[in-house]
Structure 1
């Protein structure tokens, strides 16, 4: 049976995306209990900050290795292991009695989390035709944003009802169950049905060694174009929204913490809309580059508007800007649709990992640079207005790099599906 024309592929799609929804929620869920952790474990804010960021460092550092492993050994096994590790890490977190246990749990969760996106992209590429993939990758991106949404009011209510330990234990247990579910959906059932693979499997060809593979990918202009494309649009949203958005609203607009957090919700709504919208537009146009150029230019204009208004746009314009930034983040899933169209499936894993590294590298760098600029102005002049104004130069520069990346991307307009031995150099 042809797996790309079977109805079973939709069971695969739903199972994988449900797992991604739960895993994405655990990226930010610990932020809901920050004050309680500081009180229960008697730790400083800097320790909590490190605890929060360590998962993202692990996630970012493992993207390229995970891409290599997924290409070599297949994505199914690693996605199953990743879901299980994330579940075990979350369960250990719920039983933590010392900050070292919490750190170990978040590292374990980060390792599991590092498996999800690259392997999910490969699994969808194996089960769906290219045109379907371009549309569905947008839904996959929306699922990640829904995971972030799940980790706000719904999970907070769950914590209030059961206490944080029981709430996190429940989430961990569900993720372990997802690991079991994926084993039956991705491995056990397909073995019984005996699906016919569409890709050309080259068993008799000696595998390329890792050094040569890395050298080839790192010297590929197309891969670097998509790296910077993803770098430019992801860091602004993830980096700024997750670290400085709330302080910015409180300091520049005298908002309460609750009011400032609504800015994050506006960005999240934009991300929920942007992912499926631009996936659908690209699928209808049967092209990625032009819609993505529009996204990159719009995000750049959005960040540049902060500079035009000296770091303090009007409140109504501020809402629009956060919405635009969110749409840009949602549309960033197009980076992986571009990978699918430009590279053979045998290289899709490492290239997807390489491109995803670009996005989360900017998400790690932006809060640091933003904070250093703020500290400089606060220590020298005590002027936070100037501090925020000059800090916004950082996302503007990142966005320029993203625009250069997508302009440098050379799109294959002719369909190349099923020609897996073709490589773009």
Structure 2
């Protein structure tokens, strides 16, 4: 077994393979939207059908598969799970590239969501099984930083090429499928399942079924951390996909500047994930960093919602919103440290799924509130106050409900090494 605080070349390379897949599946998540017009035209879709293919189908299967994916990783190991996931994504992209109508495109999009649902879980399991104990939060944050490369490619060069007609989307999807085959090959060759070292004394336990795995997560501390993660993450997803451009247009902020604000928030997120994770590891604290991040989210959202007429305050607010949202990185670390090792895959999946489900539930509530109030500038502002309210709730949870782990497991016995 790799020593708790020693970085191994194998573990690092396995992490790199999983990180590349995470960025790859993040690209697959957004690339369909980049080619909205040609895909809609070629497949003869209406706007509702396209939205189902691009967003609803993917997010639904992704969220529903989080806990099953965690169980599969725990039961069948990283090697089989990661290789299967990448292979499904690659096959689905190839199939999508040859689709001629809504039904087949929907099927392949669901397959992409299925394969992608393993991406972040596999990288988290590698971090917690193969990388040093003191650097876990840093590597989780760095993984999320690498993951943002995918949507940056989709939103940058691919968007430009789509606009000027440089790429045919079918050809691009075939190339993406080939890239997936290459990643799957690397996973099959180099990824290993964790094995018990001969110098450790272990207790052999009776295997547990899936129901027992899920029941083991019904532990108050885990549930509070999961709730915290969902509260801090919701705003960045909602503002990226809804309301921002319309709300800011009421205050003479152009669509270009509004898009720049959203980009700033993701830039803050990309910078915040590794830096917040590093500081959490360095100072041996999860709780304090989660509190700081929750405060950043709350204050940033107040700036965005209450001062939309000041472009500099908006820029500051959006950037530090992204930095604060990085607190959910610490949430993953804290969940793992409050979970027995054999249930880590399922626990991390629960945390990931919760963020998706909160987004799916709260987004229409906020949008419905805007419509119900009338849809004017003041109505947007009143409805969007829900966002800082969730940030304030995260402050309360991190202050009064979440306990400090000091960057070590609270649910595992001490390992005794033979002398």
Determine if the TM-score, normalized by the shorter chain, exceeds 0.5.
Answer: yes
Task: Name the residue aligned to 1:59.
Answer: 62
8 Å Cα contact 2:334-2:405 kept in structure 1? no
Task: Name the residue aligned to 1:207.
Answer: 207
CA-CA distance at 1:420 after TM superposition: 5.5
Question: Is 1:395 matched with 2:387?
Answer: yes
CA RMSD of aligned residues (A): 2.6
* Cα deviations by residue, 1:271-293 (Å, 9 ceiling, x for unpaired): 11111110111111011110111
Task: Name the residue aligned to 1:245.
Answer: 244
Equivalent-residue separation in structure 1 for 2:106 and 2:59 (angstroms)? 12
Equivalent-residue separation in structure 2 for 1:357 and 1:33 (angstroms)? 27
8 Å Cα contact 1:233-1:359 kept in structure 2? no
Equivalent-residue separation in structure 2 for 1:24 and 1:197 (angstroms)? 38
Task: Name the residue aligned to 1:27.
Answer: 29
Equivalent-residue separation in structure 2 for 1:199 and 1:90 (angstroms)? 44
* Cα deviations by residue, 1:15-56 (Å, 9 ceiling, x for unpaired): 111111111111111111122233333332222222222211
Q: Sort the Cα spacing of 1:199 and 1:29 in 2 relative to 1 into closer, same or farther, 3 A.
A: farther
Task: Name the residue aligned to 1:322.
Answer: 318
Aligned length: 409
CA-CA distance at 1:12 after TM superposition: 1.4
Q: Which 10-residue stretch deviates more, 411-420 or 160-169?
A: 411-420
Question: Is 1:124 matched with 2:123?
Answer: no
8 Å Cα contact 1:138-1:331 kept in structure 2? no
Equivalent-residue separation in structure 2 for 1:421 and 1:64 (angstroms)? 27
Q: Which 10-residue stretch deviates more, 205-214 or 84-93?
A: 205-214
Question: Is 1:172 matched with 2:172?
Answer: no
Task: Name the residue aligned to 1:410.
Answer: 403
Q: Sort the Cα spacing of 1:199 and 1:104 in 2 relative to 1 into closer, same or farther, 3 A.
A: farther
Task: Name the residue aligned to 1:37.
Answer: 39
Task: Name the residue aligned to 1:353.
Answer: 349
Which of the residues 260, 274, 277 maps onto 1:276?
A: 274
Which of the residues 179, 187, 194 maps onto 1:182?
A: 187
Task: Name the residue aligned to 2:17.
Answer: 15
Structure 2 unmatched ranges of 5 or more: none
Equivalent-residue separation in structure 1 for 2:388 and 2:412 (angstroms)? 39
8 Å Cα contact 1:232-1:403 kept in structure 2? no
Task: Name the residue aligned to 2:365.
Answer: 369
Equivalent-residue separation in structure 2 for 1:286 and 1:315 (angstroms)? 37
8 Å Cα contact 1:76-1:186 kept in structure 2? yes
8 Å Cα contact 1:2-1:195 kept in structure 2? no
Q: TM-score, normalised by structure 1?
A: 0.88
Determine helix, strand or coil for the equivalent of 2:166: helix
8 Å Cα contact 1:129-1:417 kept in structure 2? no
Equivalent-residue separation in structure 2 for 1:416 and 1:271 (angstroms)? 26
Equivalent-residue separation in structure 1 for 2:356 and 2:137 (angstroms)? 21
Equivalent-residue separation in structure 1 for 2:222 and 2:182 (angstroms)? 36
8 Å Cα contact 1:369-1:394 kept in structure 2? no
Which of the residues 324, 338, 341 maps onto 1:342?
A: 338
Determine helix, strand or coil for the equivalent of 1:42: coil
8 Å Cα contact 1:231-1:398 kept in structure 2? no
8 Å Cα contact 2:19-2:143 kept in structure 1? yes
Q: Sort the Cα spacing of 1:391 and 1:94 in 2 relative to 1 into closer, same or farther, 3 A.
A: farther
Task: Name the residue aligned to 2:259.
Answer: 261
CA-CA distance at 1:417 after TM superposition: 9.1
Equivalent-residue separation in structure 2 for 1:198 and 1:121 (angstroms)? 25
8 Å Cα contact 1:224-1:405 kept in structure 2? no
Determine helix, strand or coil for the equivalent of 1:161: coil
Task: Name the residue aligned to 2:283.
Answer: 285
CA-CA distance at 1:405 after TM superposition: 3.1
Q: Sort the Cα spacing of 1:209 and 1:418 in 2 relative to 1 into closer, same or farther, 3 A.
A: closer
Equivalent-residue separation in structure 2 for 1:164 and 1:201 (angstroms)? 53
8 Å Cα contact 1:82-1:112 kept in structure 2? yes
CA-CA distance at 1:344 after TM superposition: 2.5
